[in-house]
Structure 1
Amino acid sequence: MRETEILERAFAMPLTSPSYPPGPYRFVNREYLIITYRTDPAKLRAVVPEPLELDQREALVKYEFIRMPDSNGFGDYTESGQVIPVSFRGRRGSYTHCMFLDDEGPISGGRELWGFPKKLAKPTLRTEVDTLIGTLDYGPLRVATGTMGYKHREVDLSHVKASLEAPNFLLKIIPHVDGTPRICELVEYHLEDVTIKGAWTGPAALHLTPHALAPVADLPVLEVVSAVHILADLTLGLGKVVHDYLQQPSRRLLEARAMSLVG
């Protein structure tokens, strides 16, 4: 294979059979259960990377269960994880702290393209009689259970649409072949062409169980604040780099930290 052929075909790994196709990535009937809860402020500050900022008055986390039955290139899958309200240079948005899902394509694509912190697990989202139920299993163990009364009250669709269209931030890390970071960036992306088909709220509860490799309970539930159930069509837009941690002076800090570990 000639070098020109490699460059023409190089999009994703592996070269001859990529785990996911090029976009656009359109989602139809994407269903969310989002439970917003209050947590320990110190533990929240410990996981949100600078230069993102937290609201000093609140310590909120959004626990999400997302069902995606029809997504271009990725197929039919479900994911679950934690998203944290933040601000960046005066703009309010969300930082994705962790995500767990059950499909190789969006795990690979999410990590390689955007920097989504995705790991393999078994999330579900379903309706059981009068209750919307989200679960997350890591191996044989249940680590998250969320419930909400099914469609108790409709909510303002324009408010929901605005919340989905707000900026989203990710920490993208790709190592060099020697194990040092080759890419370490703060990435911003947006959901595009959003159509809200319905949105509802109701009474909700969330239970998180400690797990060494799926540590969602490290941000403990102190109080459930609200919950929303959303059905939408949307496109997952590609990202842009808004902060490079390997540029000066961040690189000097990284080198100093490495020297201290060696010493």
Structure 2
Amino acid sequence: MVRVRYGPRSDVEREAARGGAASLADIWSTGVVAIWETEPELLAQVLPPPLKPGERPLVRANISRVDLFGHTLGAGSVAVAARHGAVDGWYPLVMPMTTERALTGGREVFGEPKKLGEVTVERDGDVVTARLARHGIAFVEIDGAVGGPLPLPEESEKTDFYYKFLPAVDGNGLDGEPLLVHCTRRERVRRLEPVTGRVVLRESAYDPVADLAVRRLVGITIGEKTGDQSGRVAERVSAQALLPYIHQRYDDPAQILDAPVKEP
């Protein structure tokens, strides 16, 4: 009988797939990271409960190019410093990816706010430019001049906070209680250089990170890193409390009615 590939896989095949994923070689990425301070009251508005602002009102943009088995993947994120209980970490608002396959794993397993977009990292000698773009708008652009090598940091752990949820079938609320996920990322760095430059935030109705204005630039680096991640459910949260924030995950047409924050 001809086997249909959409048919069920055997226990042996499923175990082989899991084993193959666990034995993958290190995947190194080249990434530009910019960190800046914004206004504390602006940052506090984007955090769904029970998350609280971190010690400093920091925003981090990470724009990376990954060589993935002969194919180039662009991966980015814009996140804000946050705290859950005694755990300090980052709450990503948007995570543009250049391929559909890169979206599904993290979005469906961890609840990562991934969306298809354009992610570019370009270096010409000592000049680097990195961009996150969607809907024809480069809503984050980082450019500058690369300096000499920096001392390599030790292997480190960072925590990202995600909300894993599904909109209700009838369009009213959510299906079940959302999960607040702690995702622990272990990172190793093999190259790190400072960048003297700027962060440009452009207005976008669907990716309004320009509201988190650059009050003070903390620093920009470009480097090569690898790592792994693991997640756990920290707690179940109130669907009603999360509902005002679910437009962060989706391109809600109603967002075009939102006015950008006016500068004083």
Which TM-score tier does this pair reach, normalised by the shorter chain? 0.7 to 0.9
What is the distance in 2 between the residues matched to 1:207 and 1:175?
33
CA shift in 2, pair 1:254/1:143, >3 Å: closer
What is the distance in 2 between the residues matched to 1:226 and 1:36?
6
Name the structure 1 match of 2:126.
Answer: 130
What is the distance in 1 between the residues matched to 2:240 and 2:74?
40
Give the SS at the match of 1:45. Answer: helix
What is the distance in 2 between the residues matched to 1:133 and 1:234?
24
Percent sequence identity over matched residues?
21
Uncovered stretches (5+) of structure 1, i.e. residues with no partner: 10-21, 256-263
User: Equivalent of 1:157, from 149, 153, 156?
Assistant: 153
User: Equivalent of 1:189, from 183, 188, 206?
Assistant: 183
What is the distance in 2 between the residues matched to 1:254 and 1:36?
27
User: Equivalent of 1:84, from 80, 87, 91?
Assistant: 80
Match of 1:143, as an amino acid? F
CA shift in 2, pair 1:251/1:32, >3 Å: closer
Give 1:125 shift. Answer: 0.7
Name the structure 2 match of 1:18.
Answer: none
Match of 1:167, as an amino acid? T
* Residue 67 (structure 1) aligned with residue 65 (structure 2): yes
Give 1:128 shift. Answer: 2.1
Give 1:205 shift. Answer: 0.8
Question: Mean alpha-carbon deviation: is it higher for 140-149 or for 40-49?
Answer: 140-149
Give 1:36 shift. Answer: 0.5
Match of 2:195, as an amino acid? G
What is the distance in 1 between the residues matched to 2:126 and 2:35?
21
Count of aligned positions: 228
* Residue 214 (structure 1) aligned with residue 207 (structure 2): yes
Q: Which whole-Å deviations, capped at 9, do the CAs of 1:37-69 have from their partners, x for residues lacking one?
A: 11121121011122222235x211011111111
CA shift in 2, pair 1:26/1:143, >3 Å: farther
Q: CA RMSD in A?
A: 2.8
Name the structure 1 match of 2:111.
Answer: 115
Name the structure 1 match of 2:46.
Answer: 47
Give the SS at the match of 1:147. Answer: strand
Contact 1:81–1:216, Cα closer than 8 Å, also in 2: no
Uncovered stretches (5+) of structure 2, i.e. residues with no partner: 1-6, 12-19, 244-264
What is the distance in 1 between the residues matched to 2:199 and 2:139?
11
Contact 2:152–2:190, Cα closer than 8 Å, also in 1: no
Give the SS at the match of 1:182. Answer: coil
Give the SS at the match of 1:230. Answer: strand
Give 1:131 shift. Answer: 1.4
Contact 1:27–1:68, Cα closer than 8 Å, also in 2: no
Contact 1:204–1:224, Cα closer than 8 Å, also in 2: no
* Residue 167 (structure 1) aligned with residue 167 (structure 2): no
Give 1:225 shift. Answer: 1.1
What is the distance in 1 between the residues matched to 2:134 and 2:241?
35
